[in-house]
Chains A and B, each alone.
Chain A
Amino acid sequence: VRGVSVPRSPPGRRARLSTPGTSRLSSAAREELRRRLLGLIEGHRVVIFSKSYCPHSARVKELFSSLGVDCNILELDQVDDGASVQEVLSEITNQRTVPSIFVNKVHVGGCDRTFQAHQSGVLQKLLQEDPTYDYDLIVIGGGSGGLSCAQEAAALGRRVMVLDLVVPSPQGTSWGVAGTCVNVGCVPKKLMHQAALLGQALTDSRKFGWECSQQVKHNWETMTEAIQKHVGSLNRSYQRALREKAVAYVNSYGEFVEHHKIKATNGKGQETYYTAAKFVIATGERPRYLGIQGDKEYCITSDDLFSLPYCPGATLVVGASSVALECAGFLAGLGLEVTVMVSSQLLRGFDQEMAEKVASSMQQLGVRFLRKFVPVELQQLEKGSPGKLKVVAKSTEGTEMIEGLYNTVLLAIGRDSCTKKIGLEKIGVKVNEKTGKIPVNDVEQSSVPYVYAVGDVVEGQTELTPVAVQAGRLLARRLFGGRLEKVTGTVQLVQKLSSLYKEEPVKRRSPWTPTLASLLQVYHTLFWPLEWTVACRDSNTCYAKIICSKLDNDRVIGFHVLGPKAGEITQGFAAAMKCGLTKQLLDDTIGIHPTCAQVFTTLETTKSSGLDITQKGC
């Protein structure tokens, strides 16, 4: 050991070196050790966690020696609690092996990454004397992931800045702080969905004795005003929270100009430069356009829909994503004529049986589907609010062409990451050229050690607000040391869980499909919600299905429900799946009567039996 005092375990808690991975530390001792390690890392320019016999450690030590840099080296095999140190270290870095190298508080990685960093010049940059930066952390992008990360880091006492500027959509729509979810995503979407559900409730209510008039009209402006009012209040509450937590929120566009330095350009084009020790990219995504003439001029996207100042009228929704189907669903529910044009698969990534059932339930609502067509030509026939557009579409399977007239064309064909114009190439952050997304390791670190990414820009990340929020918060805690037990490995758990919605993943993606299918047991049923019976709604629309692994004690590995309150129902089952839910436990659990959720406690019919699952009406 050179130049460090070794953190010692309390007596009687000595970990054995030969049992890596088994935790013998009490949580208090663990917390203490973690604190000391972070102190060690933060208090020294270079810290190498090493083992005296490890050849890779030796190479790294030689490298720093050749650079003439003094290092603090902790030889884990020569201290009493080396195994505990390694364990806690792996929780901090998610790297289990030695050597593990920190330069100016940044975890560079192991031997290979250190040599790569040396080759690319990043290591030298990190080593620069006395790096005094304006901020400990600059977050680019003020959406769900970015804000949660910034607020958590600020709560941990760091100097934090958020750069956030919304580039207006081609239609000129712009919005405030808090990103897609709050402004042009989950929140307004759910409210419009609710408006559509209330339309259905009005119809139902007549059967329940309420004497509503037969033809209730909907007013688009009243709805959008109410929704925008709520969004505005959320924007203000986010700004207040940022102020209270002393996060510097700057309404400017961030772009890297050199290592640790960023240019912030505000709406008036004024430029300011800031530096920071660490950066988090949380710029998210924006809707994609078709790439045909007139698309940006005449079409709208989900960026525009929720604040559209006029009712869109007869609408063509292009796309098969959840955004496309959700928008089509509520527009139809509000009484509009809606057509959905789908080029190939519906709801890719989701269980395809469920996807088809979603589509047929929408057809019942009056939504028209044009399958296997793509728009090739747009023509504006009339201007106005809304105007009139002619859309020519071509079959994806042949030469057939079709034409249609619509008031509005809403594109929902996918989203592109905002990684192109933020100067990532200047500092060498790798971006996947195909997807535009940023590959990160399991602690959200990009190819440049001091640059991290969270949310929808991350490659392989599930594009969901709660995933981004949790990832952002955990990242801040890992970077700036918060409580221990919530930090480890959670993000992977997060990702596993969100595949809950997607389904029969094993069956579809595995190379051993034929055998694997026989290892799964699928239980399913159609069901008729009690509140639908009196309202005389269809008795065979709602569907419940679980997928169990026969190998693993009939553990539930997939959960699907199509019907009212699906989100409210699914949440608790998701928690139960995290605790190892099995079919037996479902059977042993008492249903809450009368609910839709209780149907999962009485699933009897397997799909393989081929037995009838239809529900009899009155």
Chain B
Amino acid sequence: MHQAALLGGMIHDASHYGWKVAQPPHDWGKMAEAVQNHVKSLNWGHRVQLQDRKVKYFNFKASFVNPHMVCGVSKGGEETLLSADHIVIATGGRPRYPTHIEGALEYGITSDDIFWLKESPGKTLVVGASYVALECAGFLTGLGLDTTVMIRSVPLRAFDQQMASLVTEHMAVHGTRILRGCTPLRVERLSDGRLQVTWVDLASDKKDTGTFDTVLWAVGRVPETRGLNLEKAGVRTNPNTQKILVDAQEATSVPHIYAIGDVAEGRPELTPTAIMAGRLLAQRLCSRSSDLMDYDNVPTTVFTPLEYGCVGLSEEEAVARHGEERVEVYHAYYKPLEFVVPERDASQCYIKMVCLREPPQLVLGLHFLGPNAGEVTQGFALGIKCGASYQHVMRTVGIHPTCAEEVAKLRISKRSGLDPTVTGC
């Protein structure tokens, strides 16, 4: 859906590049169907793969009976008992509903629903400050919908905060309405079927209302641990987060029971980390290798309209760990070449590389805000894994003209106070 929104931007650009096209309307139903068809084909692919590799797949809801036995309940209510030497819990999480808010559960939807809507959500209020909230608000705006994001405190909390504010600034400039420091009080259905949301501005304590077609909650996710009867197996969870406590081997408090992915405490909630952790666990269980999953320097990208890719430490985290005097930040505001012809605003296209100050200036983190951020960040993530220094990156010849080459041209340090705007070629 992000891609669909990007294509909307490209259609706009296209006229500047000589294509005789006016901005067309968008058909949500057609997009949703195409996206859903692809997802269904992926589901099918996974099923076939399991079959090919002779994995038994049961469409059951499972819960523990004892440390070695699980009871599976089928859709029809039939129970099956299964036992195993090793058990892996990978039940993931589901979006959280703020049940204390009146009407939240009845009238709101979550990211579990948005991709499966057959019709356009219309004017939408997205509540939350997570990347899920910003990504959804971003593509809804891009598809031409009137979209508001309500953020209680700071956006993208665990991310670099300078980058986070540039992300939201870009969204605001490009049509997403952002309500900061506000929290919803109740949701009511009006007689015309629309939803009236009442919220409070936390600073002024003033109340306000607005009418929307859809309210999307993106206020966090809850791990799926409650229905598992973990206490019967003796698996311990963190009472605050309900996530399962694990060690470096991914083992829970019960040595032959493991937990991976979003359900495990302290793990990044990212697909590729879950995949890799699962693979490595399987290799250890089968004595094929003793390698542990390395959760440091996990690269990721937030697919907001202007994408934000990052790997390693945020500037705040680097300063907290090493002290301000020992950290050097190189940065640049740059303009992607493809932006110039359609005269797109590049005010938020920004890169920063957080390094140790002492030579050879080891790279601690890279933050990239701009088009194709995911593609750009992946390779540099490897560089950081290889122990890249600032000098290494500077000695890499740029690929001209790309956005990624700007990373290899970062010469202005924040400390110098010089203007970091890139000019010329």
Contact = CB atoms under 8 A, between A and B. Distances in A.
Contacts of B381: 572, 589-590, 592
A467 interface: yes
B405 interface: yes
Contacts of A575: 379-380, 383, 388, 392-393, 396, 407-408
Interface stretch (A166-174, A183-191, A249-257, A396-404): A183-191
B370 to A, nearest CB: 9
A592 B378 contact: yes
A601 B377 CA distance: 13
Interface string B1-43: 0011001101101101111110011111111101101100100
Contacts of B375: 565, 568-569, 595-597
A213 interface: yes
Contact of B378 (A219, A466, A534, A600): A600
Q: When A and B form their complex, which 10 residue pairs have the shortest distance between CB atoms, in order from nearest?
A: A572-B379, A209-B31, A571-B404, A597-B378, A223-B18, A579-B386, A573-B379, A572-B380, A576-B382, A595-B374
A568 B273 contact: no
Interface residues of A, number: 89
A530 to B, nearest CB: 7
Interface in B337-374: 337-338, 340-341, 359, 372, 374
A178 B425 CA distance: 9
7 contacts: A178-B425, A201-B14, A204-B7, A205-B11, A571-B396, A575-B379, A586-B382
B402 interface: yes
Nearest to B44: A618
A237 interface: yes
A591 interface: yes
Interface string A173-205: 000001001100011001100110011011011
A580 interface: yes
B320 interface: no
B255 interface: no
A350 interface: no
Contact of B379 (A199, A208, A485, A597): A597
Interface residues of B, number: 81
Contact of A202 (B19, B32, B376, B393): B19
Contacts of A464: 397, 400
B112 to A, nearest CB: 18
Contact of B27 (A199, A209, A592): A209
Contacts of A600: 378-379
B102 to A, nearest CB: 34
A93 B19 CA distance: 54
B309 interface: yes
Interface string A523-538: 0000000110110000
A588 B271 contact: no
A497 B382 CA distance: 16
B295 to A, nearest CB: 9
Nearest to B342: A226
A211 interface: yes
A214 B386 CA distance: 48
Interface string A461-485: 0001111001000000000000001
B276 interface: yes
A144 B27 CA distance: 47
B234 interface: no
Interface of B: 3-4, 7-8, 10-11, 13-14, 16-21, 24-32, 34-35, 37-38, 41, 45, 143, 270-273, 276, 294, 298-301, 309, 337-338, 340-341, 359, 372, 374-383, 385-388, 391-405, 407-408, 423-425
Interface in A503-548: 530-531, 533-534
Interface in A276-311: none
A571 B387 contact: no
A600 to B, nearest CB: 7
Contacts of A490: 395
Contacts of B300: 592
A235 B412 CA distance: 23
Nearest to B379: A572
B14 A191 contact: no
A205 B379 contact: no
A218 B19 contact: yes
The binding surface of chain A is classed by DSSP as: helix
A368 B61 CA distance: 57
A127 interface: no
A581 B388 CA distance: 10
B359 to A, nearest CB: 6
Contacts, number: 284
The binding surface of chain B is classed by DSSP as: helix
B185 to A, nearest CB: 35
A115 interface: no
A202 B17 contact: no
A465 B405 CA distance: 12
A220 interface: yes
A333 B21 CA distance: 16
Contacts of B3: 208, 530-531, 534
B30 to A, nearest CB: 4
B21 A208 contact: no
Contact of B337 (A27, A190, A207, A211): A190
Contacts of B38: 533-534, 618
Nearest to B341: A226
Nearest to B18: A223
Contacts of A576: 379-380, 382-383, 385-386, 388
Contacts of A494: 395, 397
Contacts of B20: 216-219
Given A234-B424, A565-B372, A568-B403, A212 B383 contact: no
Contact of A598 (B17, B45, B272): B272
A58 interface: no
A497 B337 contact: no
Contact of A212 (B24, B391, B393, B397): B24
A580 B21 contact: no
A434 interface: no
B404 A567 contact: yes
Contacts of B271: 593
A216 B23 CA distance: 12
A580 B408 CA distance: 17
Given A219-B19, A572-B379, A575-B380, 15 more contacts: A190-B337, A195-B17, A198-B13, A209-B28, A209-B32, A210-B4, A216-B19, A222-B17, A227-B341, A569-B404, A576-B383, A576-B388, A579-B383, A590-B270, A595-B375
A526 B391 CA distance: 34
Given A486-B394, A568-B404, A598-B378, A205 B8 contact: yes
A146 B416 CA distance: 27
Given A208-B3, A485-B359, A588-B385, A572 B378 contact: yes
B17 A226 contact: yes
A464 to B, nearest CB: 7
Contacts of A550: none
A241 interface: yes
B395 A597 contact: no
Contacts of B26: 209-211
Contacts of B30: 207-209
A578 B396 contact: yes
Nearest to B15: A222
A209 B26 CA distance: 5
B279 to A, nearest CB: 10
Most buried by A among B273, B338, B396, B423: B396
A222 B378 CA distance: 36
Contacts of A470: 397
A596 to B, nearest CB: 6
A207 B392 CA distance: 43
A21 B30 CA distance: 67
A600 B385 CA distance: 14
B7 A590 contact: no
B399 A592 contact: no
Contact of A241 (B25, B294, B340, B423): B423
A241 B425 CA distance: 12
